[in-house]
Amino acid sequence: MATDDQQVLVTGAASAPASFRIPGNGQIQPKAVFASYDGTGAAGDFVPALKIISDGGETVGIYPTESPVVAGASADVSWFPGVKPQAAAPLLESRVGMFWRTGGQTIHTGAVTEYVFQQQQGQADPNGPLGFSLATFTITVVRNFRVYVDFLVQWQAGNYDRYIEIAQPVGFPPQDLFTWRAREAVSPDGDVQHIGAVLAGNPSAPAALTFNLFQASGSDKTATGYVLAYGWPEIAGQNGWPG
Amino acid sequence: MAQPLEAPMPPDLDLPDGYVVVWAAIDATSGADVAGVVVSGVSLFGRVIGLGASDTFALGAWFLVPGPEF
């Protein structure tokens, strides 16, 4: 059965952007377009794109590939109707933050004391799971939608009542208001304490977060603490919130 | 080895005479042209419609032209 389909070979090679003008004796409705891209000498990563320009010089459409080509690589590109865009993969990038101080912190007996961190990793990451106050290095916010926090504390050895806790005074959502606490009084099991907590964070309205220590030995004790936080967006989208 | 890629194109895209087809290599972020990329092996398969006075669609001597031709 005869058809009006034609294959046109456009001769030659040219530096991108390369073009040709539809001849002046008709029109064509393309079903497939093909081109080879040689990126051996490319100045950078690039996206092959087909552009259609009207006879008046107006851009009718730009049809790029979904995947880029790295500089130095080559690609054989096919354009045709019916190519479906790939579904966007959920953004599940996890983020890690670590906070600590050297030399420990003095915890007075009988007083709930917030642990103040001096060092951290992830300061340059504005989307890190935990934010903190630069002035005191006190952890103040939870950024990612869900954050798992490990709080580890090493106390001066001894038999005395002590606890560590993670407190989220203003939770999001409200049902996530909890205080996680571990309490022990006997050495050596109580000399190193560890608690983990899953916290809800809202990057749009970060929640405050405190790490508290308490001991009732009758004298000052030194404690050294570490926090390791993993944040992961549970909803696809920028930073996982909102989706 | 060349990486095979696919891209969408409208199903009813008519290219009348005088329209220009451009094969570009653009930056993914800015959309600016990326220098140093060479295009070759171009083919276009489609349905010829709306023939002009010559009754036949010119099929020979289509040459790729460097740079945008518009």
Inter-chain contact B48–A5, Cβ cutoff 8 Å? yes
| Chain A: closest CA distance from residue B65 (Å) | 5
Interface contact A81-B8, CB threshold 8 A: yes
Q: Domains (ranges, CATH) in chain A?
A: 33-79 (no CATH), 95-240 (2.60.120.1120)
Q: Hey, of B30, B33, B42, B51, which one would you mutate to test binding to chain A, going by the most A CBs within 10 A of its CB?
A: B42
Q: Do A16 and B33 make contact, defined as CB atoms within 8 angstroms?
A: yes
Question: What pLDDT is attached to residue A30?
Answer: 84
Q: A86 or B69, which is more confident?
A: A86
The beta-strand segments (E) located in chain A are: 5-11, 14-15, 18-21, 27-38, 47-53, 59-64, 74-80, 95-100, 105-107, 113-114, 119-121, 130-132, 139-142, 146-155, 162-167, 179-184, 192-200, 210-215, 221-232
pLDDT of residue A126: 61
DSSP helix/strand/coil, A47: strand
**Which mean pLDDT values do the consecutive 10-residue runs of chain A (243 residues) have?**
64 83 75 91 93 88 89 90 63 68 91 86 63 64 73 94 83 56 93 85 68 95 89 52 37
- For the cut 70, the answer to whether the pLDDT of residue B64 exceeds it is no
pLDDT score for A205? 65
Question: Which B residues 26-55 touch A at CB under 8 Å?
Answer: 26-28, 33-54
Better-scored residue on pLDDT, B69 or B33: B33
Position A86 scores a pLDDT of 61
Q: What is the DSSP string of A216-236?
A: -SSS-EEEEEEEEEEEE-SSS
Give the mean model confidence (pLDDT) for residues B22-49.
Answer: 87
Q: What is the pLDDT of residue A137?
A: 63
**Comparing B11 with B35, which gets the higher pLDDT?**
B35
Q: Which chain B residue shows the shortest CA-CA distance from A54?
A: B19
Contact B64 A52 (CB under 8 A): no
Token representation of residue A35: 């081109």
